[in-house]
Chains A and B, each alone.
Chain A
Amino acid sequence: MTKEMFTLKSSDGFLFVVDEAVVHQSVTLSPMVQDCAGREYPINNVTGKILNLVVEYCKNHVVVDGGDSSSSSSSGDALKKWDDEFITQMDLSTVYDLIMAANYLIIKGLFDLACQRVADEIAACKDHEEIRATLGIVSDYTAEEEAEVLKENEWAFD
């Protein structure tokens, strides 16, 4: 059984050679299975660094998702553990890029994983100022507007 290999090219010119099972995980890329075998497929929105991570994720998920629905729960747990380590070791800037890439390539598992990481970061912050600091967001509120918003939401803090 010959495995078809596909070449993905990142926006900054890095090439990744992957097999069909990996490509199938992306809803955007799946159609190219018919068209682009052997040719380079450019992915303009994703840099090499991020595409590398995407490919790594997909490769790992092929092992379990690859048709064997009766795979034991232990391999499911191992995969979950791998996912957790995978996403927590990244800095938030990379997670953000990963979300955008997974959104473009439509890889649901990766998208949900990365969004959950951001949600966990927000949940770990004790107030809006900490959220701003962690995610690097600059506030555009005036002092009065901010006081108003906090008053509106004082029910949440006690």
Chain B
Amino acid sequence: MHKLKIVNFKNIIVFIKILLVKTCGKYFSLIFLIFFRFTDAFACFRLPLISQEKIFSRIYKIIQIQPPQILCKNQSGSVLIFVEQHCLKMFTEEVLKNVFPLLEGEDLAACMGVCKQWRHIAKDDFYWKCQCAKKWPSVCKRTKPPTGTYYKMFQTFSKRRLNRTLPPPRLSFENLEFFVDIWSEDKPVYSGLIPGLAMETGIKPLPSGISNVLRTHLAKPDYKMVVPAEPRFTVPLNQTVSVSMLVGRNDSDKVARIINRSVFEYIDRSSYRALAFEYLDLSPYYPFVSGIRAWVSLLFMDAEDINDGVLDVFGIQLDFCDVAETKEEVLWLLDMLDWK
């Protein structure tokens, strides 16, 4: 009589255990086949029938299923066993249906990632109605969920998300053109019709003679709107220099004001900029938003002329540094202007 080695026996058990678990009891004909093969394997070792039954009952103890009903014997005399589906240790629907209502919403969501059966059960809106009822009992006063499904309601409102992403802007710089006028004591010294795209391009190449501070500032990759002053102009320091700026959009033939008339009151010699600002007039559709300024900076050269009281302006910068740092934010802000 051939004796089966213990090592091989254990491997086969592990293999069968994995197979049984993976099949989830659904395809019991497959299990039937596996056992058929298994019994054939024994048959080829020519174990007597009694030993085979003993081995099988040991297998069942190891993988912990109820003793199966022995149904029939195959031609070689080995024993074929059908394993009933519900004997396998899988979490049945009944159990899950009673456990799920006891969980919190986040745990229920985690359960959906466990396996397909769990997801199928957890997706039932009934459990989400329970979750919504725990969080907002007033929801039960309605017969139907207020947002399509209770699942959606819980998903959307159970957590407060503090960082929200900006939706894509409705405007683009291709649609815009800027009307820039700079005055020195009410005489125009610069008038430019600047297409939106030019605002983004910046000043290339940077002219020589500008300070390192400005060079560094202009070379940084962060978003800014700068245009070269063409033609270049100079402004005397003892005069009142002011700016007005309008912007037009070609998608709806409308114009909005950025700056009505603002004086360059601040001259920052350390950064070689003269600054002017004005509070934006936003559209009446945004009634509670205020305190946002448009800033215009005249960028001037680093030269001895400063001592003569003249600024040699080579570039003009527009920014909304109070609130808007990125291109999308700037475009949304411009969209909010009072377009008429």
* Nearest 10 CB-CB pairings of A with B: A128-B113, A156-B109, A119-B102, A153-B109, A156-B106, A115-B98, A128-B110, A118-B99, A155-B155, A123-B107
Q: List 17 A–B pairs whose Cβ atoms lie within 8 Å, in order of A's numbering.
A: A96-B89, A99-B95, A115-B102, A119-B99, A122-B107, A123-B104, A128-B111, A128-B112, A135-B91, A138-B21, A138-B115, A141-B116, A150-B113, A152-B112, A153-B110, A155-B158, A156-B159
* A65 interface residue (CB < 8 Å to B): no
> A128 vs B109: C-alpha distance in the bound complex, in angstroms?
9
Q: For the complex, what is the distance from the CA of A68 to the CA of B260, rounded to whole Å?
A: 86
CA distance A83 to B332 in the complex (A): 61
Residues of B within 8 A of A150 (CB): 113
Interface residues of B in 103-160 (CB under 8 A from A): 103-107, 109-119, 155-156, 158-159
Are A111 and B91 in contact, with the CB atoms below 8 A?
Answer: no
**With a CB–CB cut-off of 8 A, which chain A residues contact B158?**
155-156
B92 shortest CB reach to chain A, Å: 8
A139 touches B115 (CB 8 A): yes
Q: Are A132 and B110 in contact (CB under 8 A)?
A: no
**Per-residue contact bits, chain A 39-75, to B (CB 8 Å; 1 contact, 0 not):** 0000000000000000000000000000000000000
Q: Counting CB contacts under 8 A, is B175 at the interface?
A: no
CB distance from B136 to the nearest CB of A (A): 16
Q: Is the CB of B95 within 8 A of A96?
A: yes
The answer to whether A137 has its CB under 8 Å from any CB of chain B is: yes
Q: Are A146's CB and B98's CB within 8 A?
A: no
Measured CB to CB, the closest approach of chain B to A155, in angstroms, equals 5
Cβ-defined contact, A137 with B110, below 8 A: no
* Residue from A111, A131, A139, A158 in contact with B110 in the complex, judged by beta carbons closer than 8 Å: A131
Which residues of B lie under 8 Å from residue A138 when comparing CB positions?
A: 21-22, 115
- Give the A-binding residues of B (Cβ under 8 A): 21-22, 24, 64, 66, 89-92, 94-95, 98-99, 102-107, 109-119, 155-156, 158-159
How distant is the Cα of A158 from the Cα of B91 in the complex, in angstroms?
28
Q: A122-B111, A137-B118, A153-B110 are in contact. List 6 more A-B contacts (CB 8 A).
A: A93-B89, A96-B89, A140-B115, A156-B110, A156-B158, A157-B109
CA distance in complex: A122, B110 (Å)? 9
Select from chain B the residue with minimum beta-carbon distance to A136.
B89
Task: Say whether, besides A93-B64, A156-B109, A115 and B114 are in contact (CB < 8 Å).
Answer: no
Residue in chain B with minimal CB distance to A158: B159
Min CB gap B290→A, angstroms: 33
Indicate if the CB atoms of B91 and A122 lie closer than 8 Å: no
- A157 to B21 alpha-carbon distance, docked (Å): 29
Q: Please indicate the chain A residues that have their CB under 8 angstroms from the CB of B119 in the complex.
A: 149
Most chain A beta-carbon contacts within 10 A, residue among B21, B106, B110: B110
Distance, CA A136 to CA B98, complexed state (A): 19
Nearest opposing residue in chain B for A150, CB measure: B113
Question: In the complex, what residue of chain A is closest to B96 when comparing beta carbons?
Answer: A118
Shortest Cβ distance from A155 into B: residue: B155
